[in-house]
Amino acid sequence: MKINVYNDMNSLIDNMVQRLIAYSHCQQATIHIALSGGNTPKRLFEAIKIADACYHIDWSRLHFWWIDERCVSYRHEESNYGTAKRYLFDHVNINLNHLHPFNVERPAEQSAIDYVQQMRQSIPLSQNGFPIFDWVWLGMGADGHVASIFPHGVSIDSLKWAEATYHPETNQSRVTLTLAVINQAKRIDMLVSGRAKAKMVQKILSNNVAVDYPARYVQPETGQCVWHLDQKAAGLISND
Ligand code: 6PG
């Protein structure tokens, strides 16, 4: 695992944008990228939209999937897919067939089953039969959750590809990919900013085996995981 600390959120975001631009021009025929929800991606999406106008991102080989989704209409402000469309995909030249949202018209359990079929039909599988995303963009909650894998929620050991679950405080119905899928990715970027997460960052990145939060189990089997922190989120970890 690698840790990058940036002076501020804009520098963190710019690093991701530059890598997306470069990746979009690589020779790989199809690139499967899985996106998280929440607030951090909104700033990233806006920066990508601006960059696309200046540097021409080649969208032709990029396919976007979602790490998790809130079971609300795409028009709802909390929809991860709806947010990505409003902030980015409605403004760039991407084929809508390259966007693979969860079907939130179905009950969460069925939406998870449908998504597994979609992934099975489109994404290369690892030797142990799990889909291999080329790039996963993760966020982390202050409670140590990633995706919609909350403490005491979906099992970190689940061998399913996707599961129905609930937000522990709002009880909002969710669907989420599991760590079994996330950890097959070739590259995972964990984007964490703000002072509110500094304590959890310190817990997760310490070597304290007693720490038992989902974010600790983001450990790609063969791929690379990079934590991108702004100074505030990195405030309690040593720089050595
Ligand atoms: C979601 C996300 C969730 C998010 C973290 C961090 O649907 O809410 O998948 O896991 O990444 O809660 O969110 P922020 O980027 O808003 O801090």
- pLDDT, averaged per 10 consecutive residues of the chain (240 residues), comes to 95 96 94 96 97 92 98 98 98 97 97 98 96 98 97 96 98 98 98 97 86 93 98 87
Residue 200's H or E segment, with its range, is helix 198-205
How many Å apart are CA 57 and CA 169, to the nearest integer? Answer: 38
Strands 224-230 and 2-6, bridge-based pairing:
parallel
Question: What's the pLDDT at 54?
Answer: 87
Ligand 1 centroid from CA 192, angstroms: 9
- What Å distances lie between residue 213 and 34, 144, 178, 202, 204, CA to CA? 21, 5, 14, 12, 7
Say yes or no: CB of residue 36 within 6 Å of ligand 1.
yes
Ligand 1 centroid from CA 209, angstroms: 24
**Where would I find the beta strands (DSSP E) of 15-115?**
31-35, 62-66, 68-70, 99-100
How many Å apart are CA 77 and CA 83, to the nearest integer? Answer: 7
φ, ψ (nearest 5 deg) of residue 37: -100, -160
Token pair for 193? 């900013």
Say yes or no: CB of residue 71 within 6 Å of ligand 1.
no
Is 194:229 a contact under the CB 8 Å cutoff? no
- What Å distances lie between residue 94 and 87, 88, 89, 177, 239, CA to CA? 13, 10, 7, 24, 40
Nearest atom within ligand 1 for CA of residue 39: 16
Token pair for 99? 């966007």
Say yes or no: CB of residue 183 within 6 Å of ligand 1.
no
Question: What's the pLDDT at 240?
Answer: 55
Pocket test residue of 9, 42, 65, 68 for ligand 1, highest count of atoms within 8 A of CB: 68
Residue 12, classified by CB atoms within 10 Å of its CB into exposed (0-12), middle (13-18) or buried (19+), is: buried
Closest CA to ligand 1's atom 8: 38
Is 110:117 a contact under the CB 8 Å cutoff? no
Strand order in the sheet with 62-66: 2-6, 224-230, 187-192, 135-139, 31-35, 62-66, 99-100
pTM as predicted: 0.97
Nearest atom within ligand 1 for CA of residue 139: 11
Say yes or no: CB of residue 134 within 6 Å of ligand 1.
no
Ligand 1 centroid from CA 145, angstroms: 8
B/e letters for 119-149, b = 16+ CB within 10 Å, e = fewer, are: beeebeeeeeebbbbbbbbbbbbeebbbbbb
Question: What's the pLDDT at 208?
Answer: 77
Nearest atom within ligand 1 for CA of residue 193: 17
Say yes or no: CB of residue 184 within 6 Å of ligand 1.
no
